[in-house]
A and B are shown apart, each in its own frame.
Chain A
Amino acid sequence: GAGVSQSPSNKVTEKGKDVELRCDPISGHTALYWYRQRLGQGLEFLIYFQGNSAPDKSGLPSDRFSAERTGESVSTLTIQRTQQEDSAVYLCASSSTSGTYNEQFFGPGTRLTVL
């Protein structure tokens, strides 16, 4: 079946512009996560959705970052007034919540470059 998909795969933008990154989770997965991978760093958790609510936004680095999710499907991560330090690969993952342990499946990521 289809995995997690993300678009665009690459995004180059100018400092100060807004960008939107999209994640399509695996069908039926109620949990959705956003992570950020900056060069030379591990993955940093940004936000978690359970359905269309976000019980954990603790990883969002500033109020320039926001995210929303429509039902149990598509999620959009928006970065306003982008800065050069926002350059990173943004990864999305989804999982079911039906068992004690639910594996997170990762998408291929969106590579964001802020000039």
Chain B
Amino acid sequence: AQSVTQLDSQVPVFEEAPVELRCNYSSSVSVYLFWYVQYPNQGLQLLLKYLSGSTLVKGINGFEAEFNKSQTSFHLRKPSVHISDTAEYFCAVSRTNYGGSQGNLIFGKGTKLSVKP
């Protein structure tokens, strides 16, 4: 079984400051790792993903994340946030592909990022 822990339920930060949203996972099998963003009253949007290869992955809107296998972490970072980054961010994992199906996503409980002027 897999599980995802997002260590912070809320992160307030001032505009133009850096931010890190933390995510740890547990799995007995290999997984893909994801960050999704949900803006107020909108659906989920994929921010970035780690499938294989380079452990530093870059996503949309200037976000990046680093996969650390030894620490089973996949923390999300942005060097300078904007007001428009205010949203809820979800870390997720899924089993790597088998039998033609990716399998369902397992999500953390989310981190609400609030960017203040």
Contact = CB atoms under 8 A, between A and B. Distances in A.
Interface of A: 31, 33, 35, 40-45, 48, 50, 55-56, 59, 91, 93, 95, 97, 100-104, 106-109
Contacts of A109: 43
A89 to B, nearest CB: 10
Contacts of B32: 101
A97 B101 contact: yes
Nearest to A45: B104
Interface of B: 4, 6, 32, 42-46, 49, 51, 90, 92, 97, 100-110
User: Which 6 A-B residue pairs are closest in the complex by CB-CB distance?
Assistant: A42-B107, A42-B109, A45-B104, A106-B44, A43-B107, A108-B43
Nearest to B91: A42
Given A42-B90, A91-B43, A107-B43, A101 B102 contact: yes
A104 B105 contact: yes
Contact of B110 (A35, A42, A93, A104): A42
Contacts of B43: 91, 106-109
